[in-house]
Structure 1
Amino acid sequence: MVNGDVVGSGVPNVVDTKMQESVVDDASQALSVIGASPGATALPRVLGDSPIAVLLVDRSHGQVTYANTAALELAGDVGLPVAVDAWTAAAGVTDVDGNPLTETSAPLSRVAAGQPVAGEPVRIRGTDGVADTDRGTADSRGPVVWATGFPLGEGAHDEQLSLLVFLPVEQPTGADDPEAVLQSLRERAVLATDICFTISDPRQEGNPLVWVNPSFTKVTGYSLEDSIGRNCKFLQGPATDPAAVQQMVDDLSAGRSTAVTLLNYRPDGTAFWNHVSISPVYDGAGELVSFVGVQSDVTSRVLADAERDAAHESERTARRHAEEARARMALMAEATTELVGSLDTAELQHRLARLCVPRLADWVSIWQVDDDGLITSATSLHRDGDVVRPLLDAMEAAYLGRPFPRAAPVREAFLTGQPVLREDLDDRALEPYARGLTDGEVLTQLGVGSLLALPLPSQRGTWGAMTLVREAAHGFSVEDLDVAQDLCRRAGQALDNARIYSREASVAETLQHALLPELPDLPRITAAARYTAASAAAAVGGDFYDLLPMPGGATGIVIGDVAGHDITAATAMGQLRGLIRSACWDTDEPAPDIVLARVDRLLKVLSLPVIATAALLRATPPADGGDAWVVECANAGHPPVLLRTPDGSVDLFCDDHDLLLGTGMADLLPPRSSTVHKVPVGSQLLLYTDGLIEQPGAEGPGRDIDAGLAALRQRWASLPVSADPRTVCDAVHDLVVLASDDLAVLTLQLD
């Protein structure tokens, strides 16, 4: 036991250590005899918690002369001294079955007679006559406790004293048979003689021990001579918890019972865990006369608890690692989805930033670097959002258009292709590459305690670099580094693809503008056109339109759709458009069906791999004073042209379909045909490709051309009659909800 000077217990007139040693030896022998008796090989397991009650019995008078507070409360605060049997009755002490104890059989009576009681289960109901539910039982007979007692001295002094202690035990459950209950107690028992008892005298200087039982020597290794007369703090050692010691000192100084588990040491230096319970004992006048200590070696229990805690901690660690692994996998899965979902460089940088904050960093900056080593763009995101946006803008402005500072970790990462970690950062550490941002406290307000710079690799080298920042001085783990590297590899590839796409798209856009004509300014015709490519790889496709003068003062109007959605289709479209233009001038007055037939033959003769739909109109303006245009139309498998007359009605026009161009089967079928219509002056024509009308409807993703055509007619009819061709183009283009196909629209007004 380890205590301060106030810890211990003492009994008056018990100072003759030689006599005490003799008495204790006698008691030990008596206990050994009892312990060896039949049926007592396994006495009930004492839990080692604070004693329920501590009594000192004057054997010469058969009275309880001293008791701790709990013992007094159990008996209804009876005045001391009190007869042993009177205290037994007042405290409600019964046998295990709840039957009253006879005077001769009661443990207190035997102790008062000078007999040692190694241990006996009894029940204590207390003064209220009901169970003490706080002690872990709902039995109306009261909780089972363990009674043990020892004679402390005999014949040497006026007082012949015995110590009687009631200790808590595990409560028996589920058995009606008294023998089964007792056996249940025994199965959970240890010998009472394994419990150490001590008594110290607080009235003597230093509160020395005045008595210890043999188990104290057995457990601690200190003999009776080594112990008596000393405060039991001699059990302290280098690893004894001072807080536990102070708790005992504080409790006992305040007159309270105390119970702690702490590390004690034997004379040979070996350590053991000691559960110590100490109770103050008072006389009838309320004067503190002794401290009774109950000690148990609980090393095995403490070690078992430590092993269990270690196992639990290992389980928690394993679970945490598993959760972190799942989180990393989820992040990588999300990254894959996010980074392949766009070919726009700026959008990809924003997506990468959102993936990093706050899961990998408090804030992030993504830097794009050109071939000259200059920073061309920066994307930053902070966990605090728009609140710190001005700070991020100021930080980016300090670096944009310039190379990385020579001392910057991000420059090292960019040049070496390896991650660079910096920790324990402050203004002094940041100054060489902060570009004055520490003076204005920009970086301080953003929070820079640790920094992880990583390259963004690409097929051609390094696209740029990324800086992850945490406010904590040591904000990045090894796992964070692994995840960040994997993320940067994926992001670098996606950004490189986006850059390649951007360059190809620029080339494709130039090609598309070259292939699609600028609409000419023709007499009495107002025209507008719009083109949208569906390809995610290049902004070109096979849809086309054309407006050209024809012999005889007529105007050729063309809409077509070459199979395919890429540069190959666009090239084929350019060839087809050139053939149509050429065929339109083969004769003085070429009819649309003749032109398409010639084009079809040329595709076959030239072995051009082109399959296309097309509609060709030849519009001749009215003679002076006339009120109608003559429009001839031939259709090679193309969606019908729409006509809107000045009264606002919208009708199908040029809806007679012939074979597609480029099939090679024209010779096997009847000749192509043309239709002729008179169109009132002021009418409008709408030519389009199937991408406009093949749109998912409200019923689902299916594409119904008839429904799309009806929606197109309805949209055009809903526009004012005065709507010009540009307005019409924009309005009908709004019907597109999914650009899964190339789209061309050409609108003309015939005045």
Structure 2
Amino acid sequence: MAESPTRDAQPSPDLFAELAEGTGLCMFLTGSYDDGLPLLWVNDAFLRKTGVPAGAQPPPPAPGRASLGPLELVLADPSSGVLAVPTLASGEAGTFTLECRKASGGTYWSHVTFTPRRDATGRVTHYLGVSVDVSEYVDERSAQLQTLAVERRRRADLDLVAQTTELLGDLEYPFALRDIAELLRTVVPWAAFYLHDDGLLFAEGIDVAAPPGGRGRRHARHVVAGDPERPLEAGTPRPGLETVDAVQDLLDGLVDGPVLVRLDVEYPPFSASGWLRRDLVTRVVDETGVRPASVVVHAMGGRRQVLGLLVTWNGDQAGVAVPGDGVAVLSEPDDVRTVVEVIARRAGTAIDNARLYAREHRLAEALQRAMLPEQADVTGLDVWTYYAPNAEHAQVGGDWYDVLDIDGSTVGLVIGDVVGHDVEAAAAMGQLRSVVRSYAYELTTPGVVLDRVDTLVQGMRIPRSASLVYATLRKRDDAAGPGEERWDMEYTRAGHLPPLLLRDGEVRQLDEGGGSLVGFGFIERRTARETLRPGDVLLLYTDGLIERRDRSLKVGLDALTETSARITARDAAGVGEELLSRLADAPEDDVAIVVVRLPDPVADAVTPALSPRSRRWLLPSEPASIGRARHAVLRSCEAWGLPDSASAELVVSELVANGVLHGWGNIGLRLFDTGDGLRIEVEDANPAPPVTTDGHPNRVGGFGMQIVERLADWGWRPSRSGKLVWAKLKQPAASLAVH
């Protein structure tokens, strides 16, 4: 068994010194930390590596560094070297990654271990250091960290662009641009949008009603002192003013940008650069507390024009004057510029698309409103009509209806459907509507009318096929008394779904008088006949009411028949509302409905009805609509059993009259039984709010809203197409006392 070595058998100190001198590891000996870590001894490896001999005094450390004898520590380095100074000062051992300086001035990274030597009292008198060159490892790790940082920055940029795209997808949100600017402040200290609508305007959202390219007003390029209306001639700069209007050049498309706009100089007061400078100085100071010297301006380009500006402040950015055009161009990081340019470009495209779509949408709505029928109010009949184009098709459709008071005793009913959901379909619908109207007033028999329509349509070469039902109602004169009135009905169908007759809880399809589509009637059209009596309901409709992708048209017609048999309403509007609530909550096509009911004064007075507590009408902007609205309110109050119908009649008369006099387009009327009173809503396309006046001087009228105020609580709000005025009738004092 081998004997363990004894102290006497230990190697001599000279042997350790010899080994330390010859090792490839860099070794050195320093004094104590309190003495400044003087370099007392180094081995050959250390001398070869650094060129620093023992006893050498290192130069003063550079800013941001600390001297550790022959070594330097980068204080900002994220490694453990940040803890070297306090560790050695406390006399502890430690291992650190430090940046070492050579005698030649070069540096390298070293992994250094400090071992303290203590005297009998425990005080540290020396440090033995052993270092290993790890420059290659540190450089590799630094490159990896840099690559990772670049990747993270790129992902953050992509995420920023994705969030911006999502915000731009909902331009109806009133603060879309404000939120995008806040997102941009993750890459720049400050950002904001300006739209070029009637001059530059700070924007938090987008006015889609503005036409593409702004409204055409320009800022002045230059002005002469004392005469702001007189343009400055080319080549005559005014002393003390910056005459290069980089912002206007950007708006006019003369430069691609981005451009640097200095905020520490003066511009002509009516120039684009001058206006932007004045607004920015105040806005940036208010938000950041810093007065910027310059900002970067990017153009938001549309298809044909610059629609606005994206302005960013990068804190300490600097500009470089480019000879030749006098425009200062930013010298900024490429990644920041790329992100801002992408967002500016996408914002410009989104704004242009939104405004173009809004303009086409308004055009389509105007065309559709112009073609909507002006329904006649027929004495002796309760008539309700409804039309709603599918919202997926830009509010343009080919469905239409007509209610015609032909000669005082004869009523014409038309409902039709042109194939398609575009402007061409709407135009074809308008042509067919005019043709049917012209023959309906001239001829009396539906089959004969449709024969004439076929002949004319074949010659007109209307590009879209169409279906329709045309019916006439004539009141008979042989009524024995109230509740005994009869109406004779004649009808013909051109490839259209059959009307329904609702009588005493039973539903019958009027499927006679059928024929081919309009324009394809090569044989004589047939006319079918029916007699209507009090309480009967006649329903004409288009396939959008029943057509669904997941079922056949026959199944949809059966569902309509079954639903109609369960209707309890005693007025045409109530019948229509029940049908819509049960069948058209999510229509996949245009929907047109005509409901005609023969009032039954005897049965209606004694039979309670459970019907939807809301009604809607679309009225043309004409004086006759005021009377129709009054009749609609009276019938609804009667159906719902509401008292004080006289007050409701007066309020709706004033609201609709205001819509006819001051509104634009058709008027929407809605009634609601809220349970504690009647609520009336009137909508038109004029966004201007109603105003209560004390009458018109030297003219009759002007007291309408005062009457409404006396009888109801009222208000208004903006709507998608204009404004909506509402009124909630005040309950009579007696009614309040009962409750």
Whether TM-score is above 0.5 comes out as yes
> What code does the residue aligned with 1:679 have?
L
2:305 to 443, 461, 465: 461
Alpha carbons of 1:364 and 1:350: their partners in 2 closer, same or farther (altered >3 Å)?
farther
1:583 corresponds to which of 432, 439, 446: 439
Partner of 2:5: 102
Structure with larger RCO (C-alpha < 8 A, sep 6+): 1
Asked if the contact 1:694–1:708 (Cα under 8 Å) also holds between the matched residues in 2, the reply is yes
In structure 2, the partner of 1:527 is: 383
Q: Deviations over 1:592-633 (max 9, x none)?
A: 233223322332355444521111112121323243222222
User: How far is the alpha carbon of 1:680 from its aligned partner?
Assistant: 1.7
Whether contact under 8 Å (2:454, 2:521) holds in the other structure is no
Counterpart of 1:521 in 2: which secondary structure?
coil
1:437 shift after superposition = 9.1
Alignment-mate amino acid for residue 319 of structure 1: E
In structure 1, C-alpha distance between the alignment counterparts of 2:447 and 2:441, rounded to whole Å: 14
User: Could you say if the C-alpha distance between residues 323 and 598 of structure 1 is closer, same or farther in structure 2, counting changes exceeding 3 Å?
Assistant: same
Corresponding residue number in structure 2 for 1:234: 57
Native 8 Å contact 1:410 1:454 kept in 2: no
- 2:546 maps to 693
Report if aligned partners of 2:117, 2:128 keep a CA contact under 8 Å in 1: no
Partner of 1:748: 596
SS in 2 for 1:307: helix
* Kept in 2: contact 1:618–1:632 (CA 8 A): yes
Distance of 1:733 and 1:447 partners within structure 2: 60
1:277 aligns with 2:130: no
The answer as to whether partners of 1:621 and 1:628 remain within 8 angstroms in 2 is yes
Aligned partners of 1:521, 1:202: CA distance in 2, in Å?
A: 106
**Counterpart code for 2:5:** T
**Residues 1:638 and 1:351: Cα distance change in structure 2 (over 3 Å):** farther
State the distance in 1 between where 2:305 and 2:363 align: 23
Show the counterpart of 2:553. Answer: 705
Distance 1:537 1:303, change over 3 A: same
Q: Does 1:618 align with 2:476?
A: no
Q: Paired residue for 1:637, among 495, 498, 502?
A: 495
Aligned mates of 1:611, 1:218 — CA distance in 2: 97
Show CA shifts across 1:423-452 (max 9, x none).
998999999647689779994379997855
Name the CA distance, whole Å, in 2 between partners of 1:202 and 1:747: 102
Letter in 2 for 1:563: V
Residue 405 (structure 2) pairs with residue 549 (structure 1): yes
Q: 2: CA distance between counterparts of 1:609 and 1:415? A: 44
What is the match of residue 565 of structure 1? 421
Give 1:358's aligned amino acid. Answer: L
Equivalent residue for 1:598? Answer: 452
Aligned match of 2:486:
628
Whether contact under 8 Å (1:197, 1:215) holds in the other structure is no
1:311 lines up with 2:143 in the alignment: yes
Aligned-partner SS, 2:589: coil
Partner Cα separation in structure 2 for residue 513 and residue 193 of structure 1: 94
Question: How much identity, in percent, do the aligned residues show?
Answer: 26
Q: Which amino acid letter does the alignment assign opposite residue 476 of structure 2? A: P
Q: 1:557 to 1:191 in 2, by over 3 A?
A: same
Are the counterparts in 2 of residues 360 and 468 from structure 1 also a CA contact under 8 Å?
no
CA distance in 2, matches of 1:216, 1:364: 54
Superposed CA RMSD in Å reads 5.0
Cα displacement (A) at 1:303: 1.5
User: SS of the counterpart of 1:557?
Assistant: strand
Distance 1:296 1:525, change over 3 A: same
Alignment-derived partner of residue 128 in structure 2: 294
Question: Aligned partner of 2:591: which letter?
Answer: L
Which amino acid is the alignment partner of residue 633 of structure 1?
Y
Letter of the 1:485 counterpart: E
d(CA) in 1 for partners of 2:359 and 2:37? 92
Deviation string, structure 1 residues 310-350 (Cα, Å, up to 9, x no partner)? 32134314423552564367468758xx65xx8xxx62876
Pair 482,655 (structure 1): closer, same or farther in 2 beyond 3 Å: farther
Q: Specify the alignment match of 1:125 in structure 2.
A: none
How big is the shift at 1:482?
3.1
**Structure 2 gaps, min length 5:** 74-82, 207-213, 222-241, 268-272, 318-329, 600-739
Report the CA distance shift for 1:456/1:536 in structure 2 as closer, same or farther (over 3 A).
farther
| 1:84-135 C-alpha deviation (Å, 9 max, x unpaired) | xxxxxxxxxxxxxx976233xx6x6233xx5744xxxxxxxxxxxxxxxxxx
Counterpart residue identity of residue 9, structure 2: S
Q: How many equivalent pairs are there?
A: 529
Give the counterpart letter for 2:385 in structure 1: A
TM-score by structure 1 length?
A: 0.57
Q: Distance in 2 between matches of 1:568 and 1:516?
A: 16
Distance between the aligned counterparts of 1:724 and 1:586, measured in 2?
28
Q: Answer whether contact 2:22 2:44 (CA < 8 A) is retained.
A: no
1:320 matched residue in structure 2: 152
Q: 1:532 to 1:357 in 2, by over 3 A?
A: farther
In structure 1, give the amino acid aligned to 2:308.
Answer: A
Runs of 5+ in structure 1 lacking a partner? 1-97, 118-148, 152-163, 166-189, 382-398, 696-700
Q: 1:473 to 1:572 in 2, by over 3 A?
A: same
One-letter identity of the residue aligned with 1:635: R
Corresponding residue SS for 1:666:
coil
Q: In 1, are the aligned partners of 2:415 and 2:540 still within 8 Å (CA)?
A: yes
Query: For residue 554 of structure 1, what is the amino acid of its counterpart?
Result: T
How many angstroms apart in 2 are the aligned matches of 1:423 and 1:576?
60
Given that residues 176 and 205 in structure 2 are in contact (C-alpha distance below 8 angstroms), is that contact kept between their aligned partners in structure 1?
A: no
Determine the structure 1 residue equivalent to 2:287.
444
1:705-749 deviation per Cα after TM superposition (whole angstroms, max 9, x unaligned): 344445545665665423343x44455445435554332222223
1:347 pairs with 2:172? yes
Shift of the 424–252 alpha-carbon distance from structure 1 to 2, 3 Å rule, reads farther
The residue identity in structure 2 corresponding to 1:294 is L
Counterpart residue type for residue 465 of structure 1: G
Q: Which amino acid aligns with 1:101?
A: S
- Aligned counterparts, 1:415-494, within 5 A: 415-416=252-253, 418-420=256-258, 433=276, 443-444=286-287, 453-462=297-306, 464-468=307-311, 478-494=334-350
- What residue is the counterpart of 2:657 in the other structure? none
Question: Using the alignment, how far apart are the partners of 2:283 and 2:184 within structure 1?
Answer: 28
Deviations 1:645-685 (Å, cap 9, x if unpaired)? Answer: 4x4x2513422362333453633xxx443332222224332
Partner of 1:675: 528
User: Equivalents in 2 of 1:234, 1:537: separation in Å?
Assistant: 85
Q: Aligned partners of 1:235 and 1:600: how far apart in 2? A: 108
**Structure 2 residue identity aligned to 1:234:** Q
Instruction: From the CA coordinates, give the structure whose radius of gyration is larger.
Output: 1
Aligned match of 2:211: none
Query: Residue 173 of structure 2 contacts residue 205 of structure 2 at CA under 8 Å; is this kept in 1?
Result: no
Instruction: Report the TM-score, using the length of structure 2 for normalisation.
Output: 0.58
Alpha-carbon offset, residue 750 of structure 1: 2.7
Task: Give the residue type in structure 1 aligned to 2:10.
Answer: R
Q: 1:325 to 1:622 in 2, by over 3 A?
A: same
Q: Secondary structure at the match of 2:57?
A: helix
- Report how far residue 519 of structure 1 moved: 0.9
1:542 Cα deviation (Å)? 2.0
Amino acid at match of 2:415: I
